[in-house]
Amino acid sequence: MSDLDRATQLEFIMDHYQNPRNRGEMADADVHVEGGHPGCSDLITMYLKFDGDRVSNVSYIGEGCTISQASVSALTEQLKGMTIQELEGLDHEFISDLIGEEIVQTRPRCATLGLDVLHASIKAYRKKQILGG
């Protein structure tokens, strides 16, 4: 995505904002974590379901700016089938490649919010596994 022109990147963001993918609560999630930036009203709750160490389902609910909500929608499309180790390895460069480097540089907190909540979700899931719950 980062090699696409700005107009194409903005079209991609608007499509994900107006037609979010994987949006909704998940009653049987193995873990769900809330996160965000309340000061600017960007909030996300991410839900993950695993089959062994692989993501079998992912969803989110949230509110906030176009970039935070579109970015998490685009991110969730990439996660199904990934292992926990692969999820932990995702970084800001992954988001830049996904939605465009210029967008991430312009609004880094908004663009990477979904990734931050994903990482918090993995930590919560690992803790839950260790505690046996």
Q: pLDDT tens digit string along 105-122?
A: 999 999 999 999 999 999
Instruction: Classify residue 131: in a domain, yes or no.
Output: no
Domains in the chain: how many in total? 1
Residues in the chain, pLDDT under 70: 1-4, 133
Residue 1 belongs to some domain of the structure: no
What is the per-residue pLDDT for 133? 62
Task: Name all contacts of 45-54 with Cβ < 8 Å and 24+ positions apart.
Answer: 45/117, 46/72, 46/76, 46/114, 46/117, 46/118, 46/121, 48/79, 48/121, 48/122, 48/125, 50/84, 50/125, 53/83, 53/84, 53/85, 54/81, 54/82, 54/83, 54/84
Q: Where residue 35 sits, what CATH number does that domain have?
A: 3.90.1010.10
What predicted TM-score, i.e. pTM, was given to this entire model?
A: 0.94
- What pLDDT was estimated at residue 47? 98
